[in-house]
Amino acid sequence: MTRPDSSATHPPHRHGDTPVTSLLTFLRKPWLWAFIAAAVTFAATAAVTQAGGFGLGMTALTFAAFSVLVGIGQMFVITLGPGNTDLSIPATMTLAGTLALKAMAGDPALIPLGLAIALASGLGVGVLNYALIRLLSIPPIIATLSASFLIQSAAIWSNRGLRVKPPQALADFATGSALGVPNVAVVAVVVAALAWVVLERALAGRRVLAIGQNLRAARLAGVPVDAVRFATYVSCAVLAGLAGFLLASFSGGAALNMGQEYLLMSIAVVVIGGSSIAGGNSNVPGIWGASLFMFLIVSMLNSYGAGAGVRMILTGVIIIAIVAAAGGRKVSR
């Protein structure tokens, strides 16, 4: 028993905080580190930009939006507790983008149909994932990995990799902005706000958090654990479908290798954002911070002319440093 006991060292919270203690509580917010890191990289990049930081900021918001969408889904899955991770996000994005764009075939009138197809393919993937996990008791990591191979094949089979152009109106929406804020960022903010409400205010979010801390206790306390876990995997896949739909529209068509970088990205933004991989402790704002950071760190290193190798090493070191600084799970089970 060499480690300090957590419950013993936890100072009781008092009312009437002094400014100092409220600052300290603020500093303990897990999402803070992600935003600090994003701000620092932003400043470092903006320092070498000609036009000041505005353009960079808008670009960062645009691309962070995609990471946010998949990151939120992944966050809910990870919140379900150790071992829960969805590795099928990239394949789902590809499938959703491919099917939707093929169905719309460039016709603006079919945009609602395309969106519906994208979301439905997400739904299908979610059902498949949870069926593998629950009915065949395959560990989630391997279940979603295996599913991703099947989904990838389905995407190849459906369109053989042809890039169908999105309807112009949709492409304009995806690349455009309203009042200076990129539309995709608006979508991601809305989704994030909804996710925040679900996580912090809704019964469903409370149940997800409970399962993540102690599945057994949650079941005994009357939480319908299967329904909640099912809904979580489905929402993650549906969000991936939405992200795939938007990304395909944004980049002028779905490609078979479209979502690949979101495999690790979706996990990284969740944990850098301050959610505990051990489950039961999540936050939505951190995902925005982490997504901005993950985009800006690459921009920064690119702007400073770092090669691929140095860039990767620094990215890795910084991820570890942030996680180590934010500290591990304070409360042990």
Ligand X SMILES: Nc1ncnc2c1ncn2[C@@H]1O[C@H](COP(=O)(O)OP(=O)(O)OP(=O)(O)O)[C@@H](O)[C@H]1O
Contact footprint for ligand X (CB under 6 A): 5, 7-8, 255
Q: In the set 32, 39, 40, 59, which binds other proteins (CB under 8 A)?
A: 59
User: CB-wise, 205 or 259, nearer to ligand X?
Assistant: 259
Strand partners, 178: 181
Given CA atoms 267, 272, 278, 281 in this order, what sign does their dihedral have? Answer: negative
User: Of 179 and 333, which CB lies nearer to other proteins in the complex structure?
Assistant: 333
| Tokens encoding 13 | 């919270």
Give min distance, CB of 253 to other proteins, in A: 6
Asked if 21 interacts with other proteins (CB under 8 A), we say no
Instruction: Work out whether 62 is an interface residue with other proteins (CB under 8 A).
Output: yes
Enter the tokens of residue 34. Answer: 């992600």
113 versus 257: smaller Cβ distance to other proteins: 257
Query: Of 29, 116, 163, 186, which one interacts with other proteins (CB under 8 A)?
Result: 163
Q: Within its chain, how far is the Cα of 234 from the centroid?
A: 14
Site stretch for other proteins (CB under 8 A), options 25-33, 186-194, 204-212, 235-243: 204-212
Q: Identify whether the C-beta of residue 244 lies closer than 8 Å to the C-beta of residue 95.
A: yes
Regarding 225 and contact with other proteins (CB under 8 A), the answer is: yes
How near is the Cβ of 190 to other proteins at its closest, in Å? 17
Give the residues across from 153 on adjacent strands: none
d(CA 179, CA 166): 24
Q: Is 179 in the site for other proteins (CB under 8 A)?
A: no
First to last CA, the chain: 14
Identify the residue among 29, 39, 281, 285 touching other proteins (CB under 8 A): 281
Pair 62, 184: CB distance under 8 Å: yes
